[in-house]
Structure 1
Amino acid sequence: MVVMKMKFPFEKRVKLAQGLWLLSWLATVAGALTFTLGCILKTELRRRAEVMDNTEIHAVPNTLMVVGLASLGINYFAGRICQDALDAARFPRWKNLLKPYFAVACFFTALMLLAVVMSYAMKGNLEASLKIGLKNGIRFYKDTDTPGRCFQKQTIDWLQMDFQCCGNTDFRDWFEVQWVSNRYLDFSSKEVKDRVKSNVDGRYLLDGVPFSCCNPSSPRPCIQFQLTNNTAHYNYEHQTEELNIYVRGCREALVNYYMGLMNTIGAGVLSVFMLQSSVLVSLRLLQTSMEAVAGQENTEVETEGYLLEKGVKETVMEYMDPVLKFFMLNQVADGPAEGATTAPA
């Protein structure tokens, strides 16, 4: 069954070719924009690589960059095809190239849609990556003299100030790690000795947070230490002093930031996908309408164009059959070699 069959007089074919030429160059610009969006997202993710545990989330920007570059080539050739569409002598040179061209174009267009889906579906992976990455970042906060971790403190401090957050889940995460380096502890002090001895692992733990957790909007000077001790500070109630430090965890802040960024990019790429699909559909109609005038002197005849000559299932199988036969031939060729026996002398 023919899908999307339409009649094309000469004037309509001319308008289709002209409009498609303009649409293909617009899609080329959109492809460059897709590549740029992928680069922006990649850069933003790399900026926070120290607080991320894995690189699975980079699949989204990597896919966007690949389909963006592919879109440039696909739409460039679409523009060239449109230029030759109304010349009966020049158009036949594309005849043998159009079938593989459409196969490649459809693959990368589907990959573009996959990138859109991934940008909305990666929240779980992003959150899991940040959970472990931030936990390690807080844990290594004090290791300013350790190679490879020298800038961990700086990274966490800038992160907490930029995103107005504190800790991984909340500020209490700092209570569970020793974030003050032994280099700055006076072990001759009784208070320090008592704190270290009271801990099973010999760590110096305290109910305090780094300065970067302080909220500059607080009406009082920031209270960093003995946060849960109401008697240690005048007119202080830790359960109501919400302005003193940031109460939101950095994982929540970063997930909201990156998901907002990816959702915005996903909406933009979805628009590019629709534009790219329009180019392919229009180009297919132009191709099939031009094949009817191939070899004719009178190119102004009315022709018919269609999207698919057969049904969707039959068309998919037509493209898949050569691939399946290729793999079947390889299996047959390998079979006798594996089971062959040496004849006796």
Structure 2
Amino acid sequence: MAVGKVTFTKVEREKLAEVLWLLNWISVLTGATLFGLGLFLKVEIQKWQEVMSDQGILYVPHTLITTGLAACCINFLGARICLDCTDTNKFLRWKLVMMPYIVCTFCFTSCVLTGALMCYSIRGQLEDSLFTGLRNAMRYYKDTDTPGRCYLKRTVDLLQIQFQCCGNTGYRDWFQVQWISSRYLDMTSSSVVDRLRSNVDGRYLMDGVPFSCCSTSSPRPCIQQQLSNSSAHFNYDQQSQQQNLWRRGCRQALMDHYTGIMQSIGLTVLLIWLFELLVLTGVRYLQTAMENVLRLGDPDSESDGWILENSLAETARSNFNVIKNLGKCYQVDDDPNINVPTATAQQEVPSQQVQIPGTS
């Protein structure tokens, strides 16, 4: 029994073809939207790629860009096909193309859904990438003279100023790395030498942070040095000075930034997927209805359209049998002489004895 069977008159088939023609042109615009969203997401990710350890997350915008281009091409062809389906004679030109077109549209629609789901499932991978990337960026913050790392200081400072954050998970992360270059340390000072010797790795660690961690809403000049020593500053309370430094970590700030973008893009892509699914369903009804008209031989008669000609179980079973039996028609026996009569067999064939009447 057919799934989703609907009967169409000639006028209804023509109206359906015209509506699908319009929807396919709208789908071309939605494909351009997918392309634009993917491009925007790629630019946003590459903007802070220096503080990310894994660039594999770029597969999400690449999927959206590829899907958007495919949508523009497929729906442009679909608009032409649906316009010709208003006439039975013109439909004959596309009869053999319709089924491959529907299969390609189904695959493209599945990719749209995959892209929407990836926007929500990438959070864990993005968080790990930011955690490792920010940790390495802070470690190489001082290496302004090292090729490949000379711009990390500028990137981290811009990040902390723009997103009003400090460190990886908080400002205390700067206490665990040497963020001041050795070229700016006075090696003749005993305090500097003692601090270097007190660390196993020979790093110059201090309870201070870069200037970019200073809060612009602080009511007093920013305190960057000796943050753990309250007696080193006048009228300073470490616990109550919440406005002196940015308290939020940059990983959380970037996660909030990208999560908002991903959720907005994911919702938009999901709506596009529902729209494309509607168009795909309409094209399938139009295809089956027009094919049934050709079988009936009367262009003005009513015809049935459906999503599946048989039930889901029967369709799955028939497809499984097609795949199972695929290639059997090309199989040949290994013995090239099979079914070829030999000379010995021909000699063993008994000759017929003809008996003449009147003879014994």
Same fold (TM over 0.5): yes
2:201 alignment partner in structure 1: 201
Shifted more, 287-296 versus 158-167: the winner is 287-296
1:216 alignment partner in structure 2: 216
The change in CA–CA distance for 1:211 and 1:329 in structure 2 (over 3 A counts) is: farther
| 1:19-98 pair list within 5 angstroms | 19-98=19-98
Shifted more, 54-63 versus 237-246: the winner is 54-63
CA contact (8 A) 1:88 1:295 kept: no
The offset of 1:55, in angstroms, is 1.9
The change in CA–CA distance for 1:107 and 1:234 in structure 2 (over 3 A counts) is: same
Deviation by residue 1:90-129 (Cα, 9 ceiling, x = unmatched)? 1012222222222221112111111111111111100000
The CA distance in 2 between the partners of 1:59 and 1:315, in whole Å, is 34
CA radius of gyration, larger in: 2
The CA distance in 1 between the partners of 2:174 and 2:200, in whole Å, is 17
2:152 alignment partner in structure 1: 152
The change in CA–CA distance for 1:150 and 1:10 in structure 2 (over 3 A counts) is: same
CA contact (8 A) 1:20 1:282 kept: yes
RMSD, aligned CA? 2.0
Instruction: Classify the secondary structure of the residue corresponding to 2:88.
Output: coil
1:340 alignment partner in structure 2: none
The offset of 1:231, in angstroms, is 0.5
The CA distance in 1 between the partners of 2:95 and 2:233, in whole Å, is 83
Percent identity for Structure 1 against Structure 2: 47
Q: Which amino acid aligns with 1:300?
A: D
1:135 alignment partner in structure 2: 135
Deviation by residue 1:297-342 (Cα, 9 ceiling, x = unmatched)? 7422211111111123443555565555558899x89xx9xxxxxx
Shifted more, 145-154 versus 101-110: the winner is 101-110
Instruction: Classify the secondary structure of the residue corresponding to 2:7.
Output: strand
Q: Which amino acid aligns with 1:48?
A: W
The change in CA–CA distance for 1:322 and 1:37 in structure 2 (over 3 A counts) is: farther
The CA distance in 2 between the partners of 1:256 and 1:242, in whole Å, is 21
1:163 alignment partner in structure 2: 163
The CA distance in 2 between the partners of 1:208 and 1:327, in whole Å, is 72
The change in CA–CA distance for 1:158 and 1:320 in structure 2 (over 3 A counts) is: farther
Size of the alignment, in residue pairs?
A: 333
The CA distance in 1 between the partners of 2:258 and 2:316, in whole Å, is 37
1:233 alignment partner in structure 2: 233
The CA distance in 1 between the partners of 2:155 and 2:315, in whole Å, is 54
CA contact (8 A) 2:18 2:86 kept: no
Deviation by residue 1:261-301 (Cα, 9 ceiling, x = unmatched)? 01100000011101111110000111111112227774222
Instruction: Classify the secondary structure of the residue corresponding to 1:294.
Output: helix
CA contact (8 A) 1:57 1:126 kept: yes
2:102 alignment partner in structure 1: 102
The CA distance in 1 between the partners of 2:38 and 2:321, in whole Å, is 35
The offset of 1:60, in angstroms, is 1.2
Query: Which ranges of structure 1 fall in alignment gaps of 5 or more residues?
Result: 337-345
The CA distance in 2 between the partners of 1:52 and 1:175, in whole Å, is 21
The CA distance in 1 between the partners of 2:275 and 2:27, in whole Å, is 6
Shifted more, 44-53 versus 87-96: the winner is 87-96
The CA distance in 2 between the partners of 1:320 and 1:260, in whole Å, is 43
Instruction: Classify the secondary structure of the residue corresponding to 2:294.
Output: coil
The change in CA–CA distance for 1:129 and 1:281 in structure 2 (over 3 A counts) is: same
The CA distance in 1 between the partners of 2:273 and 2:83, in whole Å, is 23
1:292 alignment partner in structure 2: 292
Deviation by residue 1:108-167 (Cα, 9 ceiling, x = unmatched)? 211111111111111110000000000000000000000000100000000111111000
Instruction: Classify the secondary structure of the residue corresponding to 1:304.
Output: strand
The CA distance in 1 between the partners of 2:166 and 2:99, in whole Å, is 56
The CA distance in 2 between the partners of 1:67 and 1:189, in whole Å, is 62
The offset of 1:76, in angstroms, is 1.1
The CA distance in 1 between the partners of 2:319 and 2:67, in whole Å, is 21
CA contact (8 A) 2:218 2:243 kept: yes
The CA distance in 2 between the partners of 1:126 and 1:327, in whole Å, is 45
TM-score by length of 1: 0.92
The offset of 1:4, in angstroms, is 0.8
Shifted more, 312-321 versus 73-82: the winner is 312-321
The change in CA–CA distance for 1:231 and 1:67 in structure 2 (over 3 A counts) is: same
TM-score by length of 2: 0.88
CA contact (8 A) 2:102 2:283 kept: no
CA contact (8 A) 2:174 2:207 kept: yes
Q: Which amino acid aligns with 1:151?
A: Y
The CA distance in 2 between the partners of 1:328 and 1:70, in whole Å, is 35
The offset of 1:187, in angstroms, is 0.6
The CA distance in 2 between the partners of 1:28 and 1:245, in whole Å, is 49
Q: Which amino acid aligns with 1:275?
A: F
1:274 alignment partner in structure 2: 274
The change in CA–CA distance for 1:86 and 1:170 in structure 2 (over 3 A counts) is: same
